[in-house]
Structure 1
């Protein structure tokens, strides 16, 4: 099955929440998927959870600049 969603960011839950908020401000509802980087249950083994942010390919051109600007602001 072909997906029409593209991953635009992978990172910590805190940053993903910020990016999600910025995308929602411009009318984009991203899909968030959790990814355990160690492959082990983090509740048992203390692994770090990463989250992936996906947007529909039709919204990619609007979403990428928002993500890039938000990440640049965090680095400044």
Structure 2
């Protein structure tokens, strides 16, 4: 099944939440996906590494990736 969403980030929870906040500031609503939490809630053993995925609608990808790159650059400084 074709999805209208695309993953723009996968990594630590802190960075994912910063990305989500910045996206909201420019009017982009992100979907946060936490596989380990989903597995835990379903009763399965999960890798508790805190990694999240950030998904957005495909038509907003270019604008969203600018934000992801800016946050990544800030973290390198």
Contact 1:35 1:49 in 2 (8 A): no
Deviation at 1:40, TM superposition (A): 2.8
> Which sections of structure 2, spanning at least 5 residues, go unmatched?
37-43
Stretches (4+) displaced over 4 A? none
Correspondences of 1:1-76 after superposition (within 5 Å)? 1-36=1-36, 40-41=45-46, 47-76=48-77
Q: How many aligned residue pairs are there?
A: 70
Give 2:39's aligned residue.
Answer: none
Distance 2:34 2:49 in 1: 10
Q: Gaps (5+ residues) in structure 1?
A: none
Task: Indicate the SS of the match to 1:21.
Answer: helix
Bigger strand fraction? 1
